[in-house]
Chains A and B, each alone.
Chain A
Amino acid sequence: MVLFLNQLINGLHVGSIYALIALGYTMVYGIVRLINFAHGDILMIGAYTAVVLVTMLKLPIALVVLLVILVCVLFGVFIERVAYKPLRSSPRISSLITAIGVSMLLQNLALLVFSPTPKPFPIALNMRPLSIGPLQVSASTILTIIVSAALMVLLQTFIAKSRSGKAMRAVSEDYNAAQLMGINVNNTITFTFAIGCALAGIGSLLYGLAYSSVSPTLGALPGLKAFIAAVLGGIGIIPGAMLGGLIMGIAESLTKAYISSRLSDAVVYGILIIVLLFKPSGLLGRGTREKV
């Protein structure tokens, strides 16, 4: 039982990170119908920013956190303005290919600037694992789960309650009608990218704390997993991204623990296929009817 609970917590840890990244995918998809493949690489940019700020400039941690988020947001907004905005009226496949291109550009840029050798993540909690009854849980796991849960609640409230959140929902529902109602669509889209990238920035710090190593391809695998989490939960739907991320993390961890680590990806992708067979729009997705 203790072992099972421990493995569940391990799964929650990974799942929370997937969920945080998945939020960025799902928000951007919800608003511009674009799968932003470069999103995982924003994670990598965030991690390298932390490396530079702490090891070279030796800034205090609180400032580092703020600057990492800021750099991620700037990168995200810049990419949106330069790479995606000019293509907004082109076929969707063009933006998709551009997104893959941007992802490769960022990875290779990092390869050039930081070299392929992994760098140690400079921030560590240096705390003994906490004992909760018979369970031993690392400080970074607890921090990750709490921070992600708080951010998700915050985001959900923001989108449901605030004016900008309302504008985001309107643009996502009907781009042209929103424009006609006097919503500044361009700013709303940029704002969505900014929020997604801020979450990725926080994600990069939590990822770094957990896995302590930064390399140019760091974002690729979690990016892919998070994308699948977003699809699993229903892409474009925010609670869906969270649910998808957590299901994936827990399924991975339990498969590794009780079946075989070889099968963990197979089980996760198997779940995705089964869900999509029965509910093509994802777990929380609503079926859309063709308008005639």
Chain B
Amino acid sequence: MKKRTWFSLLLVLLLGISAITPAVMAEDTIKIGGIGVLSGPYAVYGLAVQKGVNLYVKELNANGGINGKKVEVLWEDSRAEANDGVLAFNKLVDNDGVVAILGPVLTGVTKAVAEYAADINIPLITPSATAYEVTTDRANVFRTCFLDPFQAVQMARYAKDEGLSKVAVLYDNGNEYSKGLYEAFLAECDVLGLDVVAVESAAYEDVDFKTQLTNVKNANPEAIFLPYYGAPAALILTQANDIGLDVRFLGADGISDIVDSIPNKALLTNMTYSDHFSTQSDSPLVKGFVEAFKAEYNEEPSVSFSATGYDAALVLTNAMKQGSLQYDDVVAAIKATDVEGVSGKITFDDHNDPIKSAFIMSFDAEGNKIFVKLQNP
């Protein structure tokens, strides 16, 4: 019995020491927590954000960091699960002692994590959660992307401007992002007088859309709105072609990564979607970003969340440069942000959303993105 008591005491002591040491060693670096989906089918978004954030932090550290202190971003994988996101958040805040959070990436995970972040008022900036409610009543939660209702409305207006009158919708009823876009799109069609001739939905992780597309084809629309991520959207385009459904497709920012998933790139010429960023901008800031990104990763920042991730890191570290690292001070400094980012000028409104424009994009027959026009709020 006695032996066991001594053993436990020793164990507690050892654990205690290991818990204390990192805090002592980390004096001269500022730790920021990064949460994103880094594995699984949605990893392409998380990895894009990670690359953007890491690139900015690297540039920042090369230029002296924040008031002489280096910045370090500790990444945790949310695996696209709300639970894992919250676990990652707790680990970063409780064990690693980070002073702010960048991410999470997906809307569902961000909603869950933001709830916990709001309790302790730690500054959090998501580069990519586009659902409206994410920042509602949470003074400490910000984002550097535009919103779902905004982009859905812009796509409906674009359809109207293009002279389309009969549209259909196919959405994923197991995904909050997809449902939010679908509802906003439908509401705006009502306002604009666009005729929605068919609404079809598919279950989460479905791969066969031929049934729904056959129904859509039967309703004979001029365009189909697809609030989907790139990989399933590629399946839908391919299967639509298989059943001889030759219409235009409209999408939102999830389409950003479609190119790698689709075998027949020519099908992409029918697709138009709204994006956060275009590499074809003339602004020297964007050109510099694209050059630096290519030099660092040997690829184009083709998924636009690299740009919003870069901007999220920019906004956060700018706020930290004001001096204090206290949660409340950083939150107040973020709120007062007025900077030029690579995805546009960033200022926050009452709801902590940036006031930005949407880039309407399309593709050529080789799958290269083409900038169509800018839709302003």
Contact = CB atoms under 8 A, between A and B. Distances in A.
A261 B214 contact: no
A111 B210 CA distance: 28
B119 to A, nearest CB: 32
A281 interface: no
B243 A136 contact: yes
B234 A10 contact: no
Given A116-B40, A120-B263, A261 B203 contact: yes
Contact of A117 (B44, B262, B263, B264): B44
A137 B244 CA distance: 8
Contacts of A124: 263-264
A129 interface: yes
B163 interface: no
Contact of A140 (B41, B242, B244, B264): B242
Contacts of B41: 116-118, 215, 217
Interface centre among B201, B203, B206, B208 (most CB of A within 10 A): B208
Contacts of B39: 111, 116
A213 B44 contact: no
B243 A129 contact: yes
A280 interface: no
Interface string A95-131: 0000000000000000100011111111010101100
A256 B203 CA distance: 10
Given A213-B261, A264-B203, A257 B43 contact: no
A212 B215 contact: no
B51 to A, nearest CB: 13
Contacts of A139: 242
Interface residues of A, number: 42
B244 A212 contact: no
A6 B214 contact: yes
Contact of A212 (B212, B218, B262): B262
Interface string B222-259: 00000000010011001100111000000000000000
B244 A129 contact: yes
A265 interface: yes
A265 B43 CA distance: 27
A175 B206 CA distance: 40
Contacts of B44: 117
Interface residues of B, number: 33
A261 B243 contact: no
A88 B279 CA distance: 59
Contacts of B214: 3, 6-7, 10, 257
Contact of A221 (B205, B218, B262): B205
B234 A212 contact: yes
A2 to B, nearest CB: 8
Contact of B263 (A116, A212, A221, A257): A212
B234 A128 contact: no
Nearest to B211: A256
A261 B178 CA distance: 15
Contact of B218 (A3, A10, A137): A3
Interface centre among A117, A217, A262 (most CB of B within 10 A): A117
Nearest to A138: B242
Given A118-B261, A257-B211, 12 more contacts: A10-B214, A117-B260, A120-B260, A120-B262, A129-B244, A138-B242, A139-B242, A211-B238, A213-B231, A217-B41, A256-B211, A261-B212
30 contacts: A10-B208, A10-B210, A10-B214, A13-B210, A116-B40, A118-B231, A120-B234, A120-B263, A121-B263, A122-B263, A124-B263, A126-B264, A128-B244, A129-B243, A129-B244, A136-B244, A137-B243, A139-B242, A140-B242, A210-B208, A211-B239, A213-B234, A213-B261, A217-B40, A221-B205, A221-B207, A253-B210, A257-B215, A261-B200, A261-B201
